[in-house]
Chain A
Amino acid sequence: MKLSKRPAAYALPSYSLTGDLLGFLRCGLQYRYTRIGKLPSTRPVQAWFGQFIHGVLEESYRRYDLARQQGRTDLPPWDDDVLREICDLIKTRLAAQQLFPWGEDLEKLGYSRAKSAVNELGPQLFPLIHRAEVRLTGARALPLGLIPAEYRFREADRYEMQGVIDVVTNVQLYDPDLWGNLVVKLLLEDFKARSVKPQAEFEVIIDYKGMRRPSLKPLDPGQPSFWDIYGWQAQTYAHLRQAQADSLPVVAGMIIYLNELLPTRGDLVRLKRELREGTTDVVPQVGGEAERLLGQWQKGDPMPVLPFEFRLRRAIRVIPVTEETVTEALESFDRTVARIEVCRGKELTEGQVMSTWEKNAVDESTCTACDARTFCPSYGVEKEPKLPRGNC
């Protein structure tokens, strides 16, 4: 009597757009250690600021929305003590998760940027918001053609894609309250530039990023840049959102680079360089106030207050959503999922981690923050761990 063969469990892998795919594209080995291996990072610096500002915006919207449901309009700008209370709430929450700003300066900057985000961006954005923190899931066919047979370790024929949209906005162009709205204005300018005639009612999905607007120059021409990657995120989110029953036609994604609302000294230095080199897509209007202030400003000077409209333009990136762009983005994600599955399959077959996972040493900042940098075969700058040194 021949025994049968035990069938493998049918389990679809699940990949989160930001946690998994972006993490893997940043560096596969780092992704393997932190996301799959669940090893915490010693330097979650980005994590504090990004989470802080998300939290403040989310909480602020909640309050605005609660008031709206109760029939009141409580739009920012709000008083300093209200903002401080919200900031403190989020700070406490992050502290309970062991996330701390690594210095007083970062904390102050966090609070200032949060104030700018709520008080300057809030009045333009909040009235447009339909829902916040919208969970997305969708299943796609696993690109088995891209996974060599010897590395196929699953029974699955599909994978699940997951994400969370920060904000879904509904724009009704006929709504007179929106006629002065700067965000809508930027959207319409973008449509006009692309000769797109928008419908009367549409949706734009928005993602906040606690970073500055990336330069157009790719770090490695052979690899997708963060500019590309965040673009795909918007397309994919739009695709998943469109499948939800309460959605309107999704015509664009929007990234709001929150740091641009309150640039630091370093940010301005970088901006001036990008303007000189022509590697940024949002430049000040010729003859305008922003051009004048930036032109005059030198590194040692007091910080200028750039006009809000310019800062908003710098902050907002509109990503057009069409069938073609969505298809291209989904295919890019499929390819990335295939790459991750191949790495997993290789690890299972070969029994090793470092040689089987793709590495990406192109972006220095990814490597310097990585706890595997001393033994990573792709990063040669630090060959051994250093003993701690400080001022005692």
Chain B
Amino acid sequence: MISLDEFYRAYTQFRYSPNPEQHDTIFPGPQEPLFIVAGPGTGKTTCLTLRILKLIVVDGVPPNGILATTFTKKAAAELRSRILGWGFQLLENLQADGAISDNIKDWLQTVDINQVMTGTIDSLCEQVLRDYREAGSQPPILADDFVSKTLLLREGLLTDGRYRDDDLDQLLLELQGGKWGWNVGKKTNLLQQIWDRRFQDQVDWSLFLASGERVEPEFNEQRALDLLREAIADYETALGDRLMVDFARLEQTVLERLRQGVLTDFADQLQVVLVDEYQDSNLMQECIYFELAKACGGALTVVGDDDQSLYRFRGATVELFSEFASRYGAVFGRQPTTIFLKTNYRSTQRIIEFVNDYATLDRSYQVVRVQNKPRLAHGPTAAAGVPVLGMFRPDLETLARDLADFLRQVFRGSGYALPDGTLLEANDQGGDLGDCTLLCSSPAEYNGSGKARLPFLLREHLMLGHRPMEVFNPRGQELSDIRIVRIFGGRLLECLDPGGAIEDEISGLNGISDTFGEWRAAAIEYFEALDPTHGLRDFATGWATRNPGSGKWPRSVPVLELLYGLVHYFPELHDDPEGQIYLEVFTRQVSACEQVGKFSGRVVYDPDNEGLGDASVKELLRDFLGPIASGTVKVNEDLMEAFPRDRLSILSIHQSKGLEFPLVIVDVGADFKSNHKAHRFKRFPVDGGTPHRMENLLRPHTELESPGRSEQDRAFDDLYRQFFVAYSRPQEVLLLVGLEKTLPTSKVSNVAMGWTRDGSSRWHNDEPFVEI
């Protein structure tokens, strides 16, 4: 093995030397448990990568003894790429180092860093269950989100008309918090969250199901729980019959097998476990990590930042992170070393100062932060930078216009002059709109009532003029509103069910029939504009009438055949990369139908039994096209190339986590014209949301204990975190935008604008931004 000095010598030939706090995360031996609290921009991926490489070449840990997990597939790919990319460079430099002995060099030749295990916890669990299964058992088949929702709906809620039951309805409604948009789809979502949390929070399920105490005139809690038990049990059976697991069950199965000691072949090879984004973990995952750590003498390193914990709604429990030291101590009998990474290499001094002040703005929030967390420090070469900017206008139209103008001047013009005379310009070596992003809590172009929002208006304004600029906003529009989706979906409808006679017989399509109507209209209009000899006419008509021209129509045809036949006539779908992404949604839904449908995604035709054929079409309308029309299924964002250089990316704050841009625009109040209670939850909550209510409902039956903080306080905490993430994305310029009504001097209380939860606006007399 080589020495740490030799390691750094080889590394610093192509990268900067780690700073002292980063060094503290690297040099401890393999057996040392570490609790790394890494602020934004402090280089945690660098630290993880270096620690792993150091463990291999300095401590001699075999690469296949190292397991590193992250939260998203993209993060896992990035970590793996760093380990391999830097790792090989490092090995090359070591081989060229004259001071290292030939023996060691020979040994280094045998080191296969490809063997390091990296991935998300789900990919890891799937791999483990597949590779380490017993003879006679089946490897797990993963149910995707739609499949699990469909089975929950059908087997769980529709069976025995459970969805109509008043008691169950009341239980779920109390979790939802309000009747707006209340429908069976929302009930299914809640059921899914309860199911997920059953495992994520390690709920004592039978205790929970027997805990119904409230008996009121309109609500019998125990009865509701009884129905819940049946619904969940039926769902579980439906999954099992199909040899399927969903993500929650996948992880739970691995945990059970670890505890039973049947995964020793896997666990025994582990020597060190490292977990990134630990603030987004849940109790089940903590149990898995602790089990794995037990197999390697407690060698566990966790990295994260509680201030960036945004996933409570997906079952994350941030306290597992902030209290890691004591939780680890209770199990392993010793304390991990706590290391704070505080030097931010991403941002200018001014932005770091702003972010630090924001983190410490609200007194009550400090109580839930990791104890003794230091303020972020700027890097040694960080420029002072320009002040944080603010653009506030009387109305949305003006805001969009001025913001577009600002972007035009920076990226298409000769720069934007700030009040102090500084000229803000794009980089002269290929700088473009891709260096900028607009972050919003939601990037949707329209609100629920159909009114245009900033993302839409900005897009329009950017397209004006002689040098139009485009945006990249994959979540801007509802999939069902996209032109080619409407025409294609409508054509599918008209081929399967011309005129809608079968559709009319389906009950429970809710708002979907309106969308189906729009689709059909779009398809018919498109059809009528076609040349009379166009091939699509004959093909579509043949399908619609189930008449192949000569010969007979088969008894059963996979709907995929219709789909691909139509695709022939739509180059927008088969020749355009964007269209490919929309097409994949349709084919994915067909696969889901095959998995959950009685007719397995086939169109049945029997002239002697029309009802049978109709039933197969009904199933397709409900399970294939319906979920696309209703917005339940979305595009697969993994299929998109990330962030085009020549467009402005519009993202949700959640999407921006882990990313950085030279210029970041944050929408802090483009939606808020007044103190209206409808949007209080986005800026100054009166009470909690569904995730908080879920915690209240289930926590008493877990080892996690009931939440000490009120729902409202937790909601505030989450909002501060959200804006902390948004504000810590920029490298050089942060621009806050909104309506004038949301300025700190106004009456619209807004966490993003410096309001503390006790109702005072700290920025009222001292705006920390310069208005432009």
The chain A residues found within 8 Å of chain B, CB to CB, are 1-6, 9-12, 14, 33, 36-40, 42, 59, 62-63, 65-66, 89, 92-93, 96-98, 133, 135, 137-139, 153, 156-158, 160, 240, 243-245, 347-348, 351-354, 371-372, 374-375, 384-392
B587 and A387 contacting across the interface, CB-CB below 8 Å? no
What residues of chain B lie closer than 8 Å to A353, measured between beta carbons? 574-577, 580
- Extra contacts, 9 of them, besides A4-B431, A390-B551 (Cβ < 8 A), are A1-B425, A4-B732, A5-B431, A98-B600, A133-B131, A158-B85, A348-B577, A385-B539, A392-B555
Cα of A37 to Cα of B587 in the assembled complex, Å? 10
Cα of A78 to Cα of B460 in the assembled complex, Å? 72
Cα of A351 to Cα of B646 in the assembled complex, Å? 14
A348 shortest CB reach to chain B, Å: 6
Cα of A116 to Cα of B110 in the assembled complex, Å? 40
B551 and A389 contacting across the interface, CB-CB below 8 Å? yes
What residues of chain B lie closer than 8 Å to A66, measured between beta carbons? 134-135
Query: With an 8 A cutoff between CB atoms, is B548 at the interface?
Result: yes
B435 and A157 contacting across the interface, CB-CB below 8 Å? no
A326 shortest CB reach to chain B, Å: 16
Known contacts A93-B139, A133-B131, A388-B553: A39-B429 contact under CB 8 Å:
no
Of B76-84, B317-325, B677-685, the one contacting chain A is: B76-84
Cα of A266 to Cα of B587 in the assembled complex, Å? 35
Known contacts A5-B429, A98-B591: A156-B558 contact under CB 8 Å:
no
Minimal Cβ-Cβ distance residue in A for B564: A371
What residues of chain A lie closer than 8 Å to B733, measured between beta carbons? 3
Query: With an 8 A cutoff between CB atoms, is B532 at the interface?
Result: no
Known contacts A4-B435, A156-B81: A96-B244 contact under CB 8 Å:
yes
A98 and B84 contacting across the interface, CB-CB below 8 Å? no
B554 and A389 contacting across the interface, CB-CB below 8 Å? yes
How many A-B pairs have beta carbons closer than 8 Å: the answer is 208
What residues of chain B lie closer than 8 Å to A158, measured between beta carbons? 84-85, 88
Query: With an 8 A cutoff between CB atoms, is B552 at the interface?
Result: yes
B641 and A2 contacting across the interface, CB-CB below 8 Å? no
Query: With an 8 A cutoff between CB atoms, is B517 at the interface?
Result: no
Cα of A140 to Cα of B135 in the assembled complex, Å? 36
20 inter-chain pairs at a CB distance below 8 angstroms, sorted by A residue, are: A3-B427, A5-B662, A6-B434, A39-B587, A62-B135, A93-B139, A93-B243, A98-B594, A138-B112, A139-B114, A157-B85, A352-B576, A353-B580, A385-B565, A386-B565, A387-B539, A388-B557, A389-B550, A392-B553, A392-B606
Cα of A65 to Cα of B134 in the assembled complex, Å? 11
Query: With an 8 A cutoff between CB atoms, is B430 at the interface?
Result: yes
Which residues of B (524-552) have their CB < 8 Å from a CB of A? 535, 539, 542-543, 547-552
Cα of A98 to Cα of B575 in the assembled complex, Å? 28
Query: With an 8 A cutoff between CB atoms, is B510 at the interface?
Result: no
Taken residue by residue from 596 to 621, chain B's Cβ proximity to chain A (1 for < 8 Å, 0 otherwise) reads as 00001000011100000000000000
What residues of chain A lie closer than 8 Å to B566, measured between beta carbons? 385
B555 and A375 contacting across the interface, CB-CB below 8 Å? no
A384 and B580 contacting across the interface, CB-CB below 8 Å? no
B701 shortest CB reach to chain A, Å: 33
A248 shortest CB reach to chain B, Å: 14
A47 shortest CB reach to chain B, Å: 14
Which of A38, A240, A384 contacts B636 (CB under 8 A)?
A38
Query: With an 8 A cutoff between CB atoms, is B339 at the interface?
Result: no
What residues of chain A lie closer than 8 Å to B425, measured between beta carbons? 1-3
A9 and B564 contacting across the interface, CB-CB below 8 Å? no
What residues of chain A lie closer than 8 Å to B576, measured between beta carbons? 351-353
What residues of chain A lie closer than 8 Å to B583, measured between beta carbons? 37, 39
B527 shortest CB reach to chain A, Å: 16
Taken residue by residue from 650 to 685, chain B's Cβ proximity to chain A (1 for < 8 Å, 0 otherwise) reads as 000000000011110000000000000000000000
Known contacts A245-B112, A389-B548, A391-B552: A42-B577 contact under CB 8 Å:
no
Interface residues on B, range: 35 or more
Known contacts A3-B431, A96-B242: A89-B136 contact under CB 8 Å:
yes
Query: With an 8 A cutoff between CB atoms, is B625 at the interface?
Result: no
Which residues of B (703-752) have their CB < 8 Å from a CB of A? 731-733
A389 shortest CB reach to chain B, Å: 4
B552 and A39 contacting across the interface, CB-CB below 8 Å? no
A385 and B568 contacting across the interface, CB-CB below 8 Å? yes
* Residue of B84, B410, B594, B732 with most chain A CB atoms under a 10 A cut-off: B84
A244 and B112 contacting across the interface, CB-CB below 8 Å? yes
What residues of chain B lie closer than 8 Å to A244, measured between beta carbons? 112, 115
Minimal Cβ-Cβ distance residue in A for B591: A40
Minimal Cβ-Cβ distance residue in A for B77: A11
What residues of chain A lie closer than 8 Å to B661, measured between beta carbons? 6
Minimal Cβ-Cβ distance residue in A for B62: A245
B243 and A12 contacting across the interface, CB-CB below 8 Å? no
B84 and A92 contacting across the interface, CB-CB below 8 Å? no
Known contacts A98-B591, A133-B131: A352-B561 contact under CB 8 Å:
no
Cα of A2 to Cα of B435 in the assembled complex, Å? 11
Cα of A352 to Cα of B594 in the assembled complex, Å? 31
Known contacts A1-B732, A5-B662: A387-B548 contact under CB 8 Å:
yes
Query: With an 8 A cutoff between CB atoms, is B584 at the interface?
Result: yes
B512 shortest CB reach to chain A, Å: 24
What residues of chain B lie closer than 8 Å to A3, measured between beta carbons? 410, 424-427, 431, 435, 662-663, 732-733
What residues of chain A lie closer than 8 Å to B110, measured between beta carbons? 243, 245
Minimal Cβ-Cβ distance residue in A for B570: A375
Minimal Cβ-Cβ distance residue in A for B731: A4
B352 shortest CB reach to chain A, Å: 16
Query: With an 8 A cutoff between CB atoms, is B595 at the interface?
Result: yes
What residues of chain A lie closer than 8 Å to B80, measured between beta carbons? 12, 160
Minimal Cβ-Cβ distance residue in A for B141: A96
Cα of A39 to Cα of B560 in the assembled complex, Å? 10
A10 and B85 contacting across the interface, CB-CB below 8 Å? yes
A38 and B639 contacting across the interface, CB-CB below 8 Å? yes
Which residues of B (223-237) have their CB < 8 Å from a CB of A? none
What residues of chain B lie closer than 8 Å to A392, measured between beta carbons? 552-555, 605-607
What residues of chain A lie closer than 8 Å to B660, measured between beta carbons? 6
B574 and A375 contacting across the interface, CB-CB below 8 Å? yes
Query: With an 8 A cutoff between CB atoms, is B590 at the interface?
Result: yes
Query: With an 8 A cutoff between CB atoms, is B386 at the interface?
Result: yes
Query: With an 8 A cutoff between CB atoms, is B102 at the interface?
Result: no
B312 shortest CB reach to chain A, Å: 27
A93 and B138 contacting across the interface, CB-CB below 8 Å? yes
Minimal Cβ-Cβ distance residue in A for B426: A3
Cα of A385 to Cα of B731 in the assembled complex, Å? 53
Minimal Cβ-Cβ distance residue in A for B560: A42
Known contacts A96-B141, A390-B552, A391-B552: A10-B82 contact under CB 8 Å:
yes
Cα of A213 to Cα of B561 in the assembled complex, Å? 32
What residues of chain B lie closer than 8 Å to A385, measured between beta carbons? 539, 564-566, 568
Which residues of B (381-402) have their CB < 8 Å from a CB of A? 385-386
B135 and A388 contacting across the interface, CB-CB below 8 Å? no
A298 shortest CB reach to chain B, Å: 35
Known contacts A63-B136, A352-B575, A354-B574: A39-B84 contact under CB 8 Å:
no
B60 shortest CB reach to chain A, Å: 12
B498 shortest CB reach to chain A, Å: 15
Sorted from nearest, which 10 A-B pairs have the closest CB atoms?
Answer: A390-B554, A385-B565, A392-B552, A62-B135, A387-B548, A12-B81, A387-B542, A96-B243, A3-B662, A137-B114
Cα of A251 to Cα of B433 in the assembled complex, Å? 54
Which of A1, A11, A347, A375 contacts B568 (CB under 8 A)?
A375
Cα of A174 to Cα of B560 in the assembled complex, Å? 56
What residues of chain B lie closer than 8 Å to A33, measured between beta carbons? 574, 580
Minimal Cβ-Cβ distance residue in A for B550: A389
Minimal Cβ-Cβ distance residue in B for A161: B114
Minimal Cβ-Cβ distance residue in B for A355: B575
Query: With an 8 A cutoff between CB atoms, is B642 at the interface?
Result: yes
A203 shortest CB reach to chain B, Å: 16
A348 and B115 contacting across the interface, CB-CB below 8 Å? no
Cα of A375 to Cα of B600 in the assembled complex, Å? 27
Known contacts A12-B85, A375-B568, A391-B552: A1-B112 contact under CB 8 Å:
no
Cα of A6 to Cα of B663 in the assembled complex, Å? 9
What residues of chain A lie closer than 8 Å to B506, measured between beta carbons? none
